[in-house]
Amino acid sequence: MSGQRYAPEFKDEAVKLIIERGYSVTDVAERLGVSQHSIYKWLKAIQPLRPPLVNMNCSRQRKRTFALKVSSNKLIKSQLKQTEEERDILK
């Protein structure tokens, strides 16, 4: 354990890559040179701010539907972000 500390801004950007841009934890960890364990901890730290992915009382179909909606929203947000960046370049 190296005990290396990362700036909150660095952690926020790493989490944004996963949540908003749709990158996998593995990809982000490799690109940033950070352990996957650290990134999972950072993601878990923001979980109280996000609705839980799975409700214990839900049926399997509802869980799948919810997971599909979440992944679809991530994809849409990622595409929107990319479109906005392209638009900003053209300005």
pTM for the predicted model, two decimal places: 0.50
Residue 40's identity, in one-letter code, is: Y
Asked: is 1-50 a CATH 1.10.10 domain? The reply is: yes
Rounded average pLDDT over 82-87: 90
pLDDT of residue 47: 67
d(CA 50, CA 53): 9
Token pair belonging to 75: 């994809």
The pLDDT of residue 3 is above 70: no
Q: Where are the domains of the chain?
A: 1-50, 52-91
pLDDT of residue 55: 46
The pLDDT of residue 2 is above 60: no
pLDDT of residue 73: 85
pLDDT digit string, tens, across residues 19-77:
888 888 999 999 999 999 999 999 888 766 555 544 445 566 777 777 778 888 888 88
